[in-house]
């Protein structure tokens, strides 16, 4: 009997679960080739569990590392020790990680210590600023050094890896699995029917604007500037409804409620489950965010994105005019938001529904790469099978 390739997947946050769900499902469908073990660090307990339930994923091991108001050093050490124990128990042939979280770095380091090859999904993203985003830029660079397989979402991401000396034969351009995840939800209808955690009659006759902001590098004055800008927008345009699912971190929740809690036209709610979040993205006129994932998701729905950061490791949407970096400058956030609300030509230029990040086939390409790696074949993907943004299709 042919020996199955034992693949372990490590995840711990909502974005990881969203982007790895298509890989999990693809591996399950290929039980003739693969044995799968899902390891959860539960770095973000509540937000992670929502997504796992949505995509019908139950971890085989749950390390439960989350602590209230956790610091990075404590989180990293708990995740590292937990992953060390988990890998010794399950002994996989390869460990798959995704993105740039603390879970990714700790799991990659534990796998390196255990001499387990690491496959990095969403490899090669670089802002080239270690403080933006913090600590994600460091996490993904460190994971890249520790990885044996690099699944880059775009050609630009692979170019970053090649410039750092990564062997081209161990890279593949797959597209981003978040587009696969959106297609799974679209096919199931779960996003379209997901209830919103506020009175939906508030949306009647108003233009919804979705807001997300939670980055550590913006804690303090810069985040307060964003909240003041939102207050200004709501005051200037009472025909809008700014919906802000507030991150659970007290460094975000405290100032958000202090500045925006009593502002008409602003809805502050708890973090949405992913199905509801996708529904709200689709319904919104535009999106203000500092999230990397949202920058990738919004073009699928043709929604312009104002990026509340000074730099981005996802430049493709900005280069195509689908996103605009506005930073945390109060005046600029207000000006650019009002411009998109009032200038139909400017809005149309930023709402072309052509996603440069994926075509819904990323998970299949990743599975192909894992299978080829297991047999010693190179490269991970043949050039004709790699992601080509010119042939991408939207949900």
Contact at 8 Å (CB) between 211 and 242? Answer: yes
Distance CA 53, CA 5 (A): 26
pLDDT(392) > 50: no
Q: Which H or E element spans position 149?
A: strand 149-152
Q: Going by C-beta distance under 8 Å and a sequence separation of 6 or more, which residues neighbour residue 310? A: 129, 132, 325, 327, 328
φ and ψ of 293, to 5 deg: -60, -40
Please spell the DSSP secondary structure of 228-295, one letter per residue: HHHHHHHHH-TTEEEEEE--S-HHHHHHHHHHHTT-TTEEEEPPPPHHHHHHHHHH-SEEEE--HHHH
Give the SS3 label for residue 129. Answer: coil
Residues noted as catalytic = 100, 122, 136, 214, 216, 247
Domain 200-350, what fold? Answer: Rossmann fold (3.40.50)
- When pLDDT is averaged across residues 97-122 and rounded to a whole number, the result is 98
Domain positions in the chain are: 5-176+358-375, 200-350
Q: Which H or E element spans position 193?
A: none
The answer to whether 5-176+358-375 and 200-350 have equal CATH topology is yes
Global pTM reads 0.91
pLDDT(23) > 80: yes
pLDDT tens per residue, range 201-214: 998 899 999 999 98
Distance CA 50, CA 275 (A): 9
Just give the CATH number of 5-176+358-375. Answer: 3.40.50.2000
Label residue 76 by pLDDT band (50, 70, 90): very high
């Amino acid at each position: 009997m042919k020996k199955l390739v034992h693949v372990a997947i490590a995840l711990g946050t909502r974005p990881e679960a969203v982007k790895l769900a298509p890989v999990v499902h693809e591996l399950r469908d290929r039980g003739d080739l693969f044995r799968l073990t899902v390891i959860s660090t539960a770095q973000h307990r509540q937000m992670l569990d929502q997504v796992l339930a949505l995509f019908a994923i139950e971890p085989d091991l749950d390390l439960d590392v989350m602590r209230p108001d956790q610091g990075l050093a404590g989180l990293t050490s708990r995740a590292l020790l937990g992953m060390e124990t988990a890998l010794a128990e399950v002994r996989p042939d390869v460990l798959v990680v995704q993105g740039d979280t603390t879970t990714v770095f700790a799991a990659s380091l534990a796998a390196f210590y255990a001499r387990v090859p690491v496959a990095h999904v969403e490899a090669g993203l670089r802002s080239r600023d270690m403080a933006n985003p913090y600590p994600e830029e460091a996490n993904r660079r460190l994971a890249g050094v520790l990885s044996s397989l690099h699944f880059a979402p775009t050609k630009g991401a692979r170019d970053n890896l090649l410039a750092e000396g990564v062997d081209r034969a161990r890279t593949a351009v797959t597209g981003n699995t978040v587009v696969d995840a959106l297609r799974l939800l679209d096919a199931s209808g779960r996003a379209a029917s997901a209830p919103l955690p506020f009175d939906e009659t508030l949306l009647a006759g108003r233009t919804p604007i979705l807001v997300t902001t939670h980055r550590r590098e913006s804690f303090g004055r810069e985040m307060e500037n964003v909240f003041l800008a939102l207050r200004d927008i709501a005051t200037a345009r009472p025909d809008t409804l700014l919906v802000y699912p507030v991150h659970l971190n007290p460094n975000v929740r405290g100032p958000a409620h202090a500045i925006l809690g009593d502002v008409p036209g602003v809805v502050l709610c708890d973090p949405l489950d992913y199905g509801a979040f996708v529904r709200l993205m689709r319904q919104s006129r535009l999106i203000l965010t500092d999230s990397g994932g949202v920058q990738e998701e919004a073009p699928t729905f043709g929604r312009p994105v104002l990026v509340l950061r000074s730099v981005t490791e996802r430049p493709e949407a900005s280069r195509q005019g689908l996103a605009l970096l506005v930073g945390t400058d109060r005046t600029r956030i207000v000006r650019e938001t009002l411009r998109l609300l009032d200038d139909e030509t400017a809005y149309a230029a930023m709402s072309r529904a052509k996603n440069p990040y994926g075509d819904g086939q990323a998970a299949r390409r990743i599975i192909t790469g894992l299978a080829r790696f297991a047999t010693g074949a190179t490269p991970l993907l043949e050039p004709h099978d790699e992601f080509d943004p010119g042939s991408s299709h939207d949900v």
